């Protein structure tokens, strides 16, 4: 065992998994909707707003693990394109919350549908047992991603 408690087989798994996840991410990025010129970071912000609702710039920055000035630039881009809007908070007028617009939601859903379709086609080529393994692995990968 290493000093962190991970065995050498865990290190090999970590390496294999990292490479596979990176390659799958790269492939999913390449399958984006052709009309979508937003960055992956901007799309992630739209996805967060769609999933969690309106958020402050600080909450968005924390969720996306970026510095507040970076989030401000991303939100400026989204607002300029009509994908999101800023408005004063209902509870604290000093705060600004960011909301998803209809255009933002439509862009997000179209892009997501295209990538989901591509991935569903790949999954259809797998065996039932392989799909079951991935079904079991999905929540584990989600948990790792958010730790």
Query: Taking a C-beta distance cutoff of 8 angstroms, is the pair 89, 98 a contact?
Result: no
CA distance 107 to 126: 30
Q: What angle do CA 46, 50, 55 make, to 5 degrees?
A: 80
Domain positions in the chain: 31-145
Q: What is the CATH number of domain 31-145?
A: 1.10.10.10
Length of the chain: 147
Largest CA distance in the chain: 55
- Predicted TM-score (pTM) of the model is 0.80
pLDDT tens digit at each of 147 positions of the chain: 444 556 678 889 999 999 999 999 999 988 987 888 899 999 999 999 999 999 999 999 999 999 999 999 999 999 999 999 999 988 888 889 999 999 999 999 999 999 999 999 999 999 999 999 999 999 999 999 887
């Amino acid at each position: 065992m290493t000093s962190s408690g991970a065995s050498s087989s865990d290190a090999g798994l970590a390496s294999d998994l990292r490479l596979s996840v990176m390659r799958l991410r790269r492939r999913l990025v390449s399958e984006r909707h052709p009309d979508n010129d937003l960055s992956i970071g901007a799309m992630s912000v739209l996805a967060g707003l769609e999933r969690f609702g309106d958020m402050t710039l600080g909450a968005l920055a924390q969720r996306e693990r970026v510095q507040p000035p970076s989030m401000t630039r991303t939100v400026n881009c989204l607002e300029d394109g009509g994908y999101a809007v800023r408005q004063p908070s209902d509870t604290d007028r000093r705060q600004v919350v960011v909301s998803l617009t209809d255009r933002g939601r439509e862009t997000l859903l179209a892009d997501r549908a295209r990538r989901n379709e591509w991935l569903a086609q790949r999954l259809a080529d797998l065996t039932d047992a392989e799909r079951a393994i991935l079904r079991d692995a999905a929540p584990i990968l989600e948990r790792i991603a958010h730790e």
